[in-house]
Chains A and B, each alone.
Chain A
């Protein structure tokens, strides 16, 4: 398959993730859309690694997954901590710092 097909799929998945972050109010669904964006970029990396027969793309995907795992752990802990105080996960209701 030509490389541009994979890149196009990755771009469309990324755009779907962006739409999810902008359109949803539920903080957990926003977080899942961020994970979708990260995965779209992973697909780009692996596609380039296969196209140029270079292993660096796959190794970078490894590190992206490490960072995504760490981010999910801390982010979900944050959401749980906020829920304990505010009793809501909807981002437009968590506006204590706004006048």
Chain B
């Protein structure tokens, strides 16, 4: 059976993302955890390119790997954190609880996904339900169905962000302003009174 390049890429990115995620959670040194998270973010950007979302992939790398993770590394090095110490109290109880919880969670999600895709409702019926609700975004080019590669282009996303989603866009900028002010106020050195 022929295996397409998309399948190869999917399994590659999935393997890298999952392995790097597990290593991030497991490693004792917080700097290594941050670096493994960066690798996970790059694998996710690869997923976005596979899913016809090149703009989201580029913004993902610039914002997450380029700004947020750099901020994490700044703080880790500013606080001069060493490796987490191995000895801690109540470790076994916490690990058992966490393992049980995560297993239950994964079984639940797996059952949900399996149930939703093996029922009589086909994917096309779900799609028609959604499209019938009057979504303004399908059929971007004069009512003709868009070819799937161009749907995630920067022009389309920009058009929607500045017309249909203008209010959330402006609120997002106000949110960022509030975050900037909050971060500066919180991290300011307190004056001795």
Residue on A nearest B189 in the bound complex, by CB: A84
Chain B interface size range: 35 or more
Inter-subunit contact A70/B176 (CB<8 Å): yes
Closest B residue, CB atoms, query A72: B68
- Please tell me if the beta carbons of B88 and A76 are within 8 angstroms of each other in the complex: no
Contact A22 B130 (CB under 8 A): no
Q: If A22-B94, A62-B157, A78-B186 touch, does A68 touch B68 (CB 8 Å cutoff)? A: yes
What is the CA–CA distance of A3 and B159 in the complex, to the nearest angstrom?
26
Q: Which residue of A lies closest to B109 (CB)?
A: A11
> B35 to chain A: closest CB distance in Å?
11
Interface SS, A side:
helix
**With a CB–CB cut-off of 8 A, which chain A residues contact B99?**
19
Question: In whole angstroms, what is the CA distance A6 to B17 when docked?
Answer: 12
Chain A 20-54 interface mask (CB, 8 Å, partner B; 1/0): 10111110110111011001001100110111111
SS class of chain B's interface: helix, strand, loop or mixed?
helix
Chain A: interface residue total (CB-CB under 8 A): 70
Query: Which B residues between 12 and 71 are near A, CB-CB below 8 angstroms?
Result: 14, 17-18, 21-22, 24-25, 30, 33-34, 37, 40-41, 44, 47-48, 50-53, 55-56, 59-60, 63-64, 67-68, 71
A–B complex contacts, Cβ < 8 Å, 20 sampled: A3-B117, A5-B14, A9-B17, A11-B110, A12-B18, A13-B18, A14-B109, A42-B44, A42-B60, A46-B47, A47-B51, A50-B151, A63-B172, A66-B172, A66-B175, A73-B71, A77-B182, A80-B79, A81-B186, A84-B189
A19-B99, A32-B34, A66-B176 known; 16 new pairs, CB 8 Å cut-off, are A3-B117, A20-B24, A22-B94, A23-B95, A25-B88, A28-B30, A33-B24, A35-B64, A46-B51, A50-B152, A53-B145, A54-B137, A55-B160, A58-B152, A58-B157, A66-B172
Residues of B in contact with A (beta carbons under 8 Å apart): 6-7, 10, 14, 17-18, 21-22, 24-25, 30, 33-34, 37, 40-41, 44, 47-48, 50-53, 55-56, 59-60, 63-64, 67-68, 71-72, 75-76, 78-79, 81, 84, 88, 94-95, 97-99, 101-102, 105-106, 109-110, 113-114, 117, 123, 126-127, 130-131, 135, 137-138, 140, 145-146, 148, 151-152, 156-157, 160-161, 165, 168, 172, 175-176, 178-180, 182-184, 186-187, 189
